[in-house]
Every structure is written in C-alpha cells, then in structure tokens.
Structure 1
Amino acid sequence: MAKTSAATPPLLRRVNAGKLLGVLSSAGVMTGTGLIEATGLTRATVHAVCNDLIGMGWVVELDPGRDDTAVGRPSRRFEFNSHAGYVLGIDVGAGKTTVLVANLRGETVAKAGRSFTGVESPTDRTEVVDEAVVEATEAAGVTDSEVIAAGVGVAAPVDRDGNILVDDEFWRRFDAGLATRLSQAHGWPVLLENDANLAVLGEHWRGEGREVGDLVVLLAGERFGSGLMDSGRLLHGSRGGAGEMVYLKLVEGVGDTAGIARTARERGAAVLTDPTTDTVLRDLAGADPVTAEMVFAAAAKGDEVASGILDEVACRTARVVATLGILFNPELVVIGGAVAEAAKSLLPGIEEQLATFTATPPRVAVSPLGDAIVSVGAVRHALNYVEQHALDLTLTPRPT
C-alpha cells in the first residue's frame, strides 16, 4: 500500500509535478517536447520534474524511439506507470456486492461478486464484502500493500466525513463499521460514498454523461436514487442527503421510491392473480414468481397486458425525471443500474410524458455501464484520491 511520504518537494516543483502527472496519467507515451507543449513548462523543468516522478515510481522512461531522419540526441519518452499501484471499486448493494480491481488508468484487472441472500445482519454483510475483496485481489495477483485506496458505494446517504445517515431503517442496514473493518483488515484507506453519487461519477467518466457538466444519474432498479452533478461538481448536501428520493412519497402518480424493476415485477404479479387475464406473461412465469425481465419480454412479444404495465411504468418514471428536471435543471438524466438496458424500450414513453410535466425537460438516456455503474464510479472515486494525494505517497514496488 502507498504510504504518506515524509518529504515533500518545494511548492513550485510540486505544482509542476502535479501538472505533468495530470497530463501523463490521461495520455499515452509522450516525449519531452510533447510535455513542453502540453504544459507550457521549460525543457529543463520538464526533464527535472520527470526525473523526480520516475524516482517516485509514478512515471517510467522508455527507450528512445529510433528515427533515422532525426538530428542530434533522440527525444526522451515518458509514460505514466499505470501499474504503480491499484485501486478497488466496491458496490455494496441491497442484494449483492461487486468488487473491481483496477490499475491507475482505471482498467479493470479482476472482478468478484457475492450475494447477500440469506445474510441478515450488517456485520455478516460486511464479512461477505470482505470475502469478495479477497477473491478479487487474489484473482488480480495484487497484495494489500499494492492497493492505494478503495472506493465503496452504499445504498444510503453518506456525509462528507464518510458517515452513513441512519434516519431510515433501510439505510441502517449499511451502518456496520464497513470502512473501519476493511481498513483495519487490509491497511488501505476506504472512501465511503453514496451509490448514486458514485454512479454519477462513473457515468461522467465512462458513460453517456461524458463532457456533460449538469448531469443526473437515476438508479432505477429496486429503489429510485439519484446522483447529482452541477457544472461537473458532485452535490452532497449538508448531511449527504442531496439526491435522496424519499420525497417521491409526496408526488402524485408516484407515491413511493419503488424503482422500475420492482414496479414492473409487482404490477406483473398483480395481474396474474386474476386467472381470467389472458397474457403471455403467464406462460413465461409458469410456476415461478414474476420478474421484471418477464414483463419486458412479454411486452417485446406484443402482449397487451405487459405493454400496459410498461406504459404505466414509463409514465411514473417520467414524473420522477420531471421532478429532477424541475428541481435541478440538468442537461441530461441517465437511467442507470441493471435495469438500464431494458429501460431503453421505455424512453419514447418517458420523453412523450415528460414534455407534459415540465417546460424544460432534460434529455434522457440509458447508461451503457449496466450493473457495473456504481463499482465503476467507485474506481473513479478512488482514482480521484490517488491523483489528489499522489505526491504525498510512497509507492510499494512490485516484486520482479
């Protein structure tokens, strides 16, 4: 694990190092000339600071490329050391946990998951998360000493100090000292954050929300939750409750926080209680409980009953999106989570209804990140920590 370094470079050298590291971490191989052009620094400064970064382990120098037409010494070539350390992105949901191990470019090198089925107590849930962490790091061949930080998303509000808001019974399920337990067991810092907040970070980084500063991600599976970004800045609120959607209980035509998957499933189960209802959904379910996937599949086959359910779901979701559009005026609302792919079929109905609810409807899209959206955002959250603290860290070299 990276540790805080006792010595820090002089302020100007530090500023220049941060500037060069920022350029290199988002680029490929760069020459000294390229870095001069990208940063505006002098050649002497670029080479001196790159030498510092090489010594710290953040940058590697490659062999000069051969160019028979060049005159004089070949250009020095530098590359960000994406394997200088690793980060974890951990999604702790209501039903399962997912762990990603990523290098410092955010590229996934291993993934593991565990179900919470049959796991009741918050303490036992924490143990399941730890098992998934161990499986993922072992699969990646990464030791605890090589992990710089872990981003962790939970389905509860989290304040700026990493404390979970426990005013709601559902939120209390996630308050089991998770961050302390993981940090003590493995030695790396744990950065706890709300899952929807991480989803908006992930979407802004790798999804439909790239280059969009005013962005909302609506997690829409079992429960609605939203992550809010204003001019590229994540909104938290005083206690971490910005974007929480308990207010939907007060919204006519919505009434609670049940998401798309839950609503479709419950409406589907309800229609099957009437044995006279003629629907493909009955054949798809057979003796099994109805799932949201069955409702979407039946509608895709032209089933009128299932299509009616999805029309209702689209109208209800449009009301939810409209409240976000009115309150926060985002450019884009992205529907995210495991339900996103299926929700593509709802977009025409949502957009049609949305225009009747607000004069300034946002654009609506579905996320390409699927059920990885929170863990991807957790990786981004951990990388933000690395970038912020890079010059204060001493990296652990990988054994050769």
Structure 2
Amino acid sequence: MDKSATTPQVLRRANLNAVLGVMRDSSALTGTDLIEATGLTRATVIAVCDDLIRRGWVRELEAPRGPGPQKGRPARYFEFNEAAGCVLGIDVGLATTTVLVADLKGRILGRTSERFGKVTDDVAERRGTISRAVDQALAAAGMAHPAVLAVGVGLATAVDRHGNVVRGRRQWASFDLGLQTEAWKQHGWPVLLENDAKLAALAERWCGVGAGVEDLVVMLAGERIGTGLIEAGRLLHGSTGGAGEVGSLELVDGVGSQDGIAKLARLWGTELLGSGADTRIRELVGPGTTRVSARFVFEAAAAGDAGAQEILERIGRRMARVISLLATFLNPELVVIGGAVAASAAMLLPTITAELPRLTETPPRVAVSGLGDAIVATGAVRLALDYVERNALGLAPAPAPERQASSTGTRADG
C-alpha cells in the first residue's frame, strides 16, 4: 500500500476524532476553545467543525449577544449533537429483559421490561420478547428504528472477548439467540454481546460509585455470584470469557457454593421459619405459607429480629470470604455489590468490613451500587456508546431534530 496516499486521510480522520472527542464531553465551545483543547490550527478546527456539521455530528449555535455594539466578527459556537441518533442497552436475564434507550451523551430517553415465557430454551419466543421490548422502549423514547446506531446486550452467560456466546457453558442455550444475525437484520444495527457482570463493571466505572476507579470488581450477587473485573482500567475476559465467574466456590471453606445474597436469605429464612422460632418473618409472610422472600428477611432484621440479624451476619461473613479471595488474587481498590439486591446489601457492609482484615492483607473498600436493577442495561448503553465513539465517522447519524429549550430525559449518570 502507498502510505503517502493514505496519510492525508489518516490525518483528517485523526483531526475529526480529536475535535469530536472534545465536543462530546463538553457543552458549547468556540473555535478558540477547541484550538486550546486539541492543539490544532484555527483553519483546521473550523474546517473540521464544518465537516462534522455536514455529517450531522455537530450543530452550530447562535452566538450570544452581549450589551452594546459588537465589534468584529462574532465567535462561532459549536455543540455536539447528542440527538444525532440513539443507542440501546439491553439486559437479557433468564426470566426478564430490560431495555434502555439513550441519546449519544448517555441520557436515558426510554425504558421498558418484559418477562419471558417459562420455556427458557425457546429461541424464537425469547427473541420475540426482546424485540417487543425494544419496540416499546423506542416508542416511549419517541425514537424511530433508523435512529439506532448501536445495540449493547448483556447476557447471563459466558461471552468471549470477541462478543460470542461461549457454547457449552452454563445456560448458554437460553442466551444464544441470534441477536447479532436474526433479531434486527432488517435494520442492520451493530449488535454487541457481553456478559452481564462485565457490563455491570462498565456501568459502575462510568457513572456509579466506581467512577474513575482503575482497579475495580463489581459483583452481581442476587441468585448467583458473578463478577466483572477491571484491572488498570481494562475489562478482563480471560481466554474463553470466564474471568470473574468464581465458579469453584464450593471448594472454599465457609462458602460452599455460588449462591448469592437473595438466594441465601430466602433459604435460611425458610429454615428459620420452619424451625418454629419466634421470628418477625412469620408475621411478614402471613398465615398459611412457608415461602420466605429475601425482602422479608431484610425487613425483619431492620426491625430488630434476632434470627434475621443472625442470617445477615452469616451472609456477610460468607461474602467477606468471597471478597477476600478476589482481594488476594486481584488486589482491587474497590469491590461494589450490584444488582437488584444492592440496596438491601448495605446492611451487610459492617460485617464484611469487619471481617476482611482478618481474611486478607489487602482488604479493598466495599460499597453497594446505586444503579439498582438497571446496572447491566446501563453497562450495555456504555458498550454501545463506546462503539459509536470508535466508529462515528463511518456511521450515518439520524437527521437532527430542532433543538429543544429543555430536556425531559434523565442521564445515565444522574
């Protein structure tokens, strides 16, 4: 290849990406602002901005008017066009799928959730449920299908570093749904697959309590424990996507299984109820039933029930052992407990924090996520945004709507 023929193209693309990157993370900027931020010449910056305006990625704003007569040519103001399209973030669990629609700055425009049928290996039914949820979320966001520039999808199974479902791993058949090839082939959307816990880690580092932390572990610990690992700012996958699966906890003394916080609370709460003990859990479940939800155990503990508090102590000690293993092997700065169970897990922190120094010489900080049950879908939004940012100049933005005086959506980072 003749390098001299490609050098101007490479330089032009680099200049476009440099300006676009600065504008994406800022509000309105002048040409002078962009010159200072990028080190490019004024002529290059203005040419690049005009090019980005033509492409639809940038819009020019009316220059603000100051008091008195204006001297000379007014400065030009430019702004990243976050409405040039949207991305989808999808969480595909075993029982439920959640879809977020976000603009190109991560502002959430629409959300919906749908439950799957009881047959978990019915590919057509599961794919159809996800497609319906996507359509509903786009309608709620007021966005059309052509506006979608990329789709991120989190799956509760192993996904390798190339974005492929790893066959033969736990429940892979329930998640190998042809989402990249069949679900939206009429739209031609780029569809990116990733493991759910790894996306939870992306979400926390983007806009959660782990924002900016270089060495981070995020645990999804509801029914089963799975972790997303970030080391020196890099998401870890392993040779076949298994990094962070912690699949041999049955070998760990004091742990014994991959059971998560919600499952343990439910199992041990049911045992407590069945023992005939005097416990507030009995009042919460009501007469005629022995089914105990995790919520009842946490509520009873908060009300001072000694049996429920002992259950949380046991869970806290068990989680401390899991975290100590991660601390010994990975030495993270922060471990975040995420997912739907996170709000309740705050009650476990005193026990975990007290236990860790006894179990490891490198105890990390431990926190609970504030992203709730949207943590995986939020990470999927970040995955899709990363794709758009890397490939912006090869994508075709949607026609820019008229600029609105105010926004109605919420940002992923609050």
TM band (smaller chain):
over 0.9
Give the paired residue count: 393
Return the alpha-carbon distance in structure 2 between the equivalents of residues 280 and 58 of structure 1: 58
Q: Who is 1:265 aligned against?
A: 266
Q: Who is 2:410 aligned against?
A: none
Return the alpha-carbon distance in structure 1 between the equivalents of residues 163 and 359 of structure 2: 36
Return the alpha-carbon distance in structure 1 between the equivalents of residues 272 and 156 of structure 2: 30
Q: Who is 1:351 aligned against?
A: 353
Residue 342 in 1 paired to residue 341 in 2?
no
Return the alpha-carbon distance in structure 2 between the equivalents of residues 210 and 303 of structure 1: 36
Tell me if structure 2 keeps the 8 A contact 1:217–1:226.
Answer: yes
Q: Who is 2:212 aligned against?
A: 211
Tell me if structure 2 keeps the 8 A contact 1:122–1:174.
Answer: no
Greater CA drift, 378-387 or 182-191:
182-191
Q: 1:305 to 1:133 in 2, by over 3 A?
A: same
Q: 1:398 to 1:53 in 2, by over 3 A?
A: closer
Q: Who is 1:100 aligned against?
A: 100
Residue 131 in 1 paired to residue 132 in 2?
yes
Please report the TM-score for the alignment, with normalisation by the length of structure 2.
0.91
Q: 1:30 to 1:302 in 2, by over 3 A?
A: same
Tell me if structure 2 keeps the 8 A contact 1:90–1:99.
Answer: yes
Tell me if structure 1 keeps the 8 A contact 2:56–2:400.
Answer: no
Return the alpha-carbon distance in structure 2 between the equivalents of residues 228 and 50 of structure 1: 38
Greater CA drift, 156-165 or 212-221:
156-165
Displacement after TM superposition at 1:184 (Å): 1.6
Displacement after TM superposition at 1:258 (Å): 0.9
Return the alpha-carbon distance in structure 2 between the equivalents of residues 152 and 9 of structure 1: 36
Return the alpha-carbon distance in structure 2 between the equivalents of residues 332 and 160 of structure 1: 23
Return the alpha-carbon distance in structure 2 between the equivalents of residues 270 and 116 of structure 1: 30
Tell me if structure 2 keeps the 8 A contact 1:122–1:175.
Answer: no
Residue 281 in 1 paired to residue 281 in 2?
yes
Q: Deviation per CA, 1:160-181: give whole Å up to 9, x if none.
A: 2222123334333212323322
Q: 1:35 to 1:301 in 2, by over 3 A?
A: same
Q: Who is 2:248 aligned against?
A: 247
Greater CA drift, 118-127 or 10-19:
118-127
Return the alpha-carbon distance in structure 1 between the equivalents of residues 119 and 132 of structure 2: 13
Displacement after TM superposition at 1:254 (Å): 1.1
Displacement after TM superposition at 1:117 (Å): 5.1
Please give the secondary structure, in 2, of the residue aligned with 1:257.
coil
Q: Who is 2:224 aligned against?
A: 223
Please give the secondary structure, in 1, of the residue aligned with 2:168.
coil
Matches within 5 A, 1:157-176: 157-176=158-177
Q: 1:77 to 1:399 in 2, by over 3 A?
A: closer
Displacement after TM superposition at 1:271 (Å): 1.4
Return the alpha-carbon distance in structure 2 between the equivalents of residues 174 and 64 of structure 1: 51
Return the alpha-carbon distance in structure 2 between the equivalents of residues 277 and 348 of structure 1: 26
Please give the secondary structure, in 2, of the residue aligned with 1:79.
strand
Q: Who is 1:48 aligned against?
A: 47
Q: Who is 1:370 aligned against?
A: 372
Tell me if structure 2 keeps the 8 A contact 1:8–1:391.
Answer: no
Displacement after TM superposition at 1:382 (Å): 0.1
Tell me if structure 1 keeps the 8 A contact 2:81–2:400.
Answer: no
Q: Who is 1:154 aligned against?
A: 155
Q: Who is 1:85 aligned against?
A: 85
Please give the secondary structure, in 2, of the residue aligned with 1:182.
coil
Residue 17 in 1 paired to residue 16 in 2?
yes
Tell me if structure 2 keeps the 8 A contact 1:122–1:176.
Answer: no
Please give the secondary structure, in 2, of the residue aligned with 1:110.
strand
Displacement after TM superposition at 1:12 (Å): 1.1
Q: Who is 1:324 aligned against?
A: 326
Displacement after TM superposition at 1:44 (Å): 1.2
Return the alpha-carbon distance in structure 2 between the equivalents of residues 117 and 9 of structure 1: 55
Displacement after TM superposition at 1:257 (Å): 1.0
Please give the secondary structure, in 2, of the residue aligned with 1:184.
coil
Return the alpha-carbon distance in structure 2 between the equivalents of residues 363 and 154 of structure 1: 27
Tell me if structure 1 keeps the 8 A contact 2:114–2:129.
Answer: yes
**Letter of the structure 2 residue corresponding to residue 193 of structure 1:** E
Please give the secondary structure, in 1, of the residue aligned with 2:198.
helix
Q: Deviation per CA, 1:189-233: give whole Å up to 9, x if none.
A: 110000011111110001001110111101111111100111111
Return the alpha-carbon distance in structure 2 between the equivalents of residues 39 and 9 of structure 1: 18
Please give the secondary structure, in 2, of the residue aligned with 1:181.
coil
**Letter of the structure 2 residue corresponding to residue 111 of structure 1:** R
Q: Who is 1:303 aligned against?
A: 305
Tell me if structure 1 keeps the 8 A contact 2:157–2:170.
Answer: no
**Letter of the structure 1 residue corresponding to residue 389 of structure 2:** E
Return the alpha-carbon distance in structure 2 between the equivalents of residues 315 and 166 of structure 1: 34
Tell me if structure 2 keeps the 8 A contact 1:144–1:187.
Answer: no
Tell me if structure 2 keeps the 8 A contact 1:144–1:188.
Answer: no
Return the alpha-carbon distance in structure 1 between the equivalents of residues 390 and 106 of structure 2: 15
**Letter of the structure 2 residue corresponding to residue 375 of structure 1:** A
Q: Who is 1:63 aligned against?
A: 62
Displacement after TM superposition at 1:119 (Å): 4.0
- Which sections of structure 1, spanning at least 5 residues, go unmatched? 1-6
Return the alpha-carbon distance in structure 2 between the equivalents of residues 111 and 101 of structure 1: 6
Tell me if structure 1 keeps the 8 A contact 2:158–2:169.
Answer: no
Tell me if structure 1 keeps the 8 A contact 2:83–2:401.
Answer: no
- Which sections of structure 2, spanning at least 5 residues, go unmatched? 1-5, 403-414
Please report the TM-score for the alignment, with normalisation by the length of structure 1.
0.95
